[in-house]
Structure 1
Amino acid sequence: MDIRLSSAAGRWVILTTVLGSSMALLDSTVVNVALPHIGDDLHAQLGALQWIVNAYTVTLAGLILLGGSLGDRYGRRNIFVLGVVWFALGSLLCGLAPNAAVLITARALQGIGGALLTPGSLAIIQASFHPDDRSRGVGIWSGLGGVGAAVGPFIGGWLVDGPGWRWVFLINLPLAAICVPVALRHVPESRDPEHHGRFDVGGAALGAAALALVTYALIGRAWWAGAAGIAVGAVFVLVEKRRADPMLPLTIFSSRQFTTVNLVTLCVYAAFGGFFFLATLQLQVVAGYSALEAGTALLPTTVLMLLFSARSGQLADKIGPRIPLTVGPLLCATGMLLMTRVGQGASYVADVLPALLVQGAGMVTLVAPLTSTVLSSVDTGKAGLASGVNNAAARAAGLIAVAALPLLAGMGPEVYRSAPQFDHAFDKAMPMCAGVLVVGAVVAFLTVRSAAPAAAGAQPVREAECKVNCGVAAPPLEPVGEAAADPADEVAEKRDTPPPAPPAQGRL
């Protein structure tokens, strides 16, 4: 397609992709704020709150690569719309959930919808717009998404303190009601004509099952589940190694730089996942903040990311990724240690804000260079796969952290109902998060090359993309350069085979 951004059709495409991605974005920023209220209303223990977060992440992380492949084969708009509808139905079930078990099940269904719609936003832009307008289109999409990330805590806190926590999920319904008809009427369909139509459903199921079993082992203290999860994970590796067209071609890890940077990703996003899960509880349970106050209290990190991530990426291009990937985690670790000063009667200006500013500075320093290094460590034809793998690794790391940290900190089932007990456990958990970040910094210092040459044709993460995609939840799903790679090339690389020559009429 060659839609121009200035046309009415181009504006409809932007509106559709922003609405769809905003559903998942708002969900990720507001659910943590609602957890204490959900627990009180549904009489849920801490383990249930962990599953409310992790059930979504398990299915999203396990199926997100499969979701992108389905879009290539059956149409990116079709799968995107299916994902939006699925996500909305899951949100409705979340909003109506009579107990924690139903809510957890609904969150898992939401994750399936997220895995279908999330890869589609950027893919639709890349496939629909004229090559000259793609970068600007992503910039507008990213800027509007950044605004959504900034206002998310306000919206979430207001909904929880006002109409109630159920509206954190029900707010997705009007967004979907607008998005679906607009997409069907105004977004052109696109697919990869070279896609063979075979999908690694077994690999996706095994990956999700392994994550679910390990998560269950950590939350439920069921060590048999941990052993089963490790066994299923080993089977997943064997299956992916032997398949002709695996969801995760293991040969991508032949790049030492790619492998080591993903190890850094695991450390960084594990710490982030554990921190943001516990920090919102600490501010409400211990410091006495309302949901709105707790959501907005964490806003400085988002603002710093929006303002300075692109400049951080440019600096890393000049000096290499080694220093940012070493210094950034250490700054984040310092910020998390400073959060131990936040207790009952804590002052926001004197106690909370300094910690968040230091942590935000660390996030600015490391996140954009981390993503750029992942993308530049493989050939350009594998950049989409590399970005997807890195995204899944980040989500899996956060999932394991949310499951493991309360166990390691000695948090009991009712700990979040007692301010002194939760404060004590939080003070034990923050040094653990900081320690994981220090490990990540050491790995980066010892293994990341100071000035790694970009793989042939690789593109750095662009400024507009960093403003929203280089965020807390996970790195971006797809790289965006001056011209998108041919979809047939991307699919061929996912099958780990040489890409075919581009069609005579040029690139999409």
Structure 2
Amino acid sequence: MTQNKEKFGIVLPIILLSYFMILLDNSIVFTSTVKIATDLHLNAQTLAWVSSAYTLTFGGFQLFGGRIGDVYGRKRVFLIGLLLFSFGSLMVGLSVNGPMIISMRAFHGIGSAILAPTTLALLLDNYHGTMRARAIAAYGTTAGIGASCGMILGGVITSVFSWRYGFFLNVPVGLLMFLLTIHFVKDNEIKSTSRLDIVGTLLSVLGLSALVYSIDGTSHQRLALIIAIVSLGLSVYAERMVKSPIMPLRLFTNRQRNSAYVARFFFIGAAFAYFFVTTQALQRIYGFTPLMTGLAFLPVTIPQFVGALQVSRLSSKIGNARLILIAVILVTVGVFLTVPLGLNRGYWVAIAIPMIIFGVGQGLVLSPLTAEGVANTDPEIAGAASGVVNTVHQFGQSVGISVVVALTSGVHNFSTSYLDQLLVISAISGLSLIAALFLLGSEKRLR
């Protein structure tokens, strides 16, 4: 027992801080795009690729990142991911023109795609039983708070210093995590004859990357979608034929996990779309600066942290499925509430109060969703399961933002557009609610 406590005190912070860096970067870009465009003289299309290049590689390499940890050892792959991520962050911060920042953001995304699923797999390796439940709760809390803190920190850094410092910050932190990992994280090498499925890897990377591009790309999106469907279809066929697939299909034979994946997909889609459109609304409707915009998300971040602290207790009392259902209801109410309140009531009534409700829900939902997403998986496929969880997370984000923007692009009055966007986001969150009901039904059947 003493040994486990020692591990809990050293290994978990390394995992959480590494994961936090990825999430922070993902959100910092939201509040930094205007400054990046000004400094590097980017037009709207080039600026879009600053985000899309990262999303493309981050989403496309997720399954690969999770599976190589299963095959070659989680610690080794984690260290490689830290180096790639840190170097990518440095080069993004040093970028002097559009092509450089776009290519470095793509490289940065590969580092993130290796690092993100490996953090969760390392957690599953190092903790078991009650300690694993508590560690996953902390991991889920980090997933939510990292996204919210990114909005605040991005606004502060961009306004007081430079958007570059948001990326430079990762370099010393990443190197510190690298050294701590070497000294304190135990090797959990896979003692099997598993080899990396090359065909499945190539098809999954091509398929997922094409799927991301079909959502976020600027041209030839239909062609990209066709390539994605064909590649992913061939990938599924290939996975049936090999002994060690990059995405073991048995991951999807469990209804509990499947429901958790769907619930997470729609919840993340709603949450990130909410952050994306609200960031713009605060600046365009209320005239907030980037610094004020970042600080305006405190009503999400603080309740989220408070809610997250209650997850372990509530989960053990009412179960993950019920907790997810309650949390998604709170998130849906929080998003929708601005619509009847009306923007003319000002920030504190129209935005801050709904943010508090939204924040509590987000604080409660991500930990149990993570736990359900990796439930009943054996160590040999823990990395692949982690890769699926993170892939669903990334694609939910991309799809949510794209759907909301596409469905409301014809509305030219920004106040009206924002309210319409909130209605669409509420509907997306409602789909997560339906998936949560299926998850609850699956949990009851298991009993």
Provide the TM-score with structure 2 as the length reference: 0.82
Do the aligned partners of 2:55 and 2:109 also contact (CA within 8 Å) in 1?
yes
| Amino acid across the alignment from 2:272 | G
Which residue of structure 2 lines up, in the alignment, with residue 274 of structure 1? 273
| Partner Cα distance (1:366, 1:62) in 2 | 25
Relative to structure 1, the CA distance from residue 208 to residue 355 in structure 2 (aligned partners, 3 Å threshold; closer, same or farther) is farther
Q: How does 1:198-209 map to 2 (within 5 A)?
A: 198-209=195-206
Which residue of structure 1 lines up, in the alignment, with residue 164 of structure 2? 166
Q: Tell me how many residue pairs correspond in the alignment.
A: 443
Relative to structure 1, the CA distance from residue 135 to residue 271 in structure 2 (aligned partners, 3 Å threshold; closer, same or farther) is closer
In the TM superposition, what whole-angstrom CA distance separates every residue of 1:331-389 from its partner, at most 9, and x where no partner exists?
Answer: 3223223345899887331221112122223324543443343344x355566644442
Do the aligned partners of 1:30 and 1:295 also contact (CA within 8 Å) in 2?
no
Deviation at 1:249, TM superposition (A): 1.6
Where does structure 1 differ by over 6 angstroms across 4 or more consecutive aligned residues? 128-150, 341-346
Which residue of structure 1 lines up, in the alignment, with residue 334 of structure 2? 335
| Amino acid across the alignment from 1:270 | G
Which residue of structure 2 lines up, in the alignment, with residue 440 of structure 1? 432
Q: How does 1:60-459 map to 2 (within 5 A)?
A: 60-121=58-119, 152-184=150-182, 186-187=183-184, 190-218=187-215, 219-220=217-218, 222=220, 223-309=222-308, 311-312=310-311, 314-320=313-319, 323-340=322-339, 347-376=346-375, 378=376, 385-410=384-409, 421-445=413-437, 448-449=440-441, 451-452=443-444
Give 5+ residue unaligned stretches, structure 1.
Answer: 413-419, 456-508
Q: What is the identity percentage for the equivalent residue pairs of Structure 1 and Structure 2? A: 26
| Partner Cα distance (2:364, 2:13) in 1 | 31
| Partner Cα distance (1:31, 1:83) in 2 | 21
Relative to structure 1, the CA distance from residue 270 to residue 195 in structure 2 (aligned partners, 3 Å threshold; closer, same or farther) is same
Aligned-pair Cα RMSD in Å: 3.8
Do the aligned partners of 1:319 and 1:451 also contact (CA within 8 Å) in 2?
no
Do the aligned partners of 2:148 and 2:297 also contact (CA within 8 Å) in 1?
no
Relative to structure 1, the CA distance from residue 260 to residue 407 in structure 2 (aligned partners, 3 Å threshold; closer, same or farther) is same
Do the aligned partners of 2:72 and 2:190 also contact (CA within 8 Å) in 1?
no
In the TM superposition, what whole-angstrom CA distance separates every residue of 1:123-168 from its partner, at most 9, and x where no partner exists?
Answer: 5566679999888888898999998777544432221002211221
Q: Secondary structure at the match of 1:246?
A: coil
| Partner Cα distance (1:152, 1:217) in 2 | 26
Give 5+ residue unaligned stretches, structure 2.
Answer: none
Which residue of structure 2 lines up, in the alignment, with residue 468 of structure 1? none
Deviation at 1:113, TM superposition (A): 1.0
Which residue of structure 2 lines up, in the alignment, with residue 485 of structure 1? none
Q: Secondary structure at the match of 1:199?
A: coil
In the TM superposition, what whole-angstrom CA distance separates every residue of 1:294-343 from its partner, at most 9, and x where no partner exists?
Answer: 12222333322322235345445544555544443343223223345899
| Amino acid across the alignment from 1:225 | A
Do the aligned partners of 1:3 and 1:128 also contact (CA within 8 Å) in 2?
no
| Partner Cα distance (1:73, 1:133) in 2 | 25
Do the aligned partners of 1:74 and 1:191 also contact (CA within 8 Å) in 2?
no
Deviation at 1:199, TM superposition (A): 0.9
| Partner Cα distance (2:229, 2:58) in 1 | 20
| Partner Cα distance (1:131, 1:446) in 2 | 25
Relative to structure 1, the CA distance from residue 50 to residue 138 in structure 2 (aligned partners, 3 Å threshold; closer, same or farther) is same
Q: Secondary structure at the match of 1:27?
A: helix
| Partner Cα distance (2:121, 2:382) in 1 | 13
Which is richer in helix? Answer: 2
| Range moving further from structure 2, 86-95 or 422-431 | 422-431
Which residue of structure 2 lines up, in the alignment, with residue 476 of structure 1? none
Do the aligned partners of 1:159 and 1:165 also contact (CA within 8 Å) in 2?
yes
